[in-house]
Amino acid sequence: MMNRGKVRYMHKYHLYSSSRLGWVKKPAKGCVFCGIAKGDRKVPEKTLYKGKDVIVVMNLYPYNTGHLQVFPVRHVEDFEELSDNEIASLFSMVKKCVKFLKKVLNPAGFNIGLNIGSEAGGSVRHLHVHIVPRFPRDYGFMEMLAETKVMPESLDKTFERLKKEAKMLE
């Protein structure tokens, strides 16, 4: 029997960030991750590691402090397109990143995931893994009442801190 009169939403809360609007509305000009892989200096990036098979960058529009993205050098859109070697390299690097972030930022936990396809929330059509550190008090008054995410330090400052220890990712 259908429950009439009640609308059930998938998410209880929504996070709004006006700073992401420019990114969302910006027309795609090729793949941003392929641009990073090719060393295209027109592509803004904060690369922490660039290897033969995978690259680690800070997300320029982070969900939280220290938000990293790990992606294969080769352009791949779907999970099943990855070779066994690429899967091993990708998830080995995710493991290294978790250890790295624990040392540098000391988070209480992590959200780790992939958004494959636009319907799943993927805004870049190049497979990548999000690693989002979580902290005990990373959600407070501003997030609840002002619909604004407060970052405890600037993206550049976090990048400086991470870059100093990035040898751990080699």
List the structure tokens of 32: 């941003």
- Judging by DSSP bridges, how do beta strands 54-58 and 109-113 pair with one another? unpaired
Instruction: Evaluate whether 129 touches 113 at the Cβ level (below 8 Å).
Output: yes
Number of residues assigned to the chain: 170
**Whole-number Å distance between alpha carbons of 154 and 159:** 9
Q: Helix or strand or coil: residue 113?
A: strand
Which residues are known to be catalytic?
A: 128
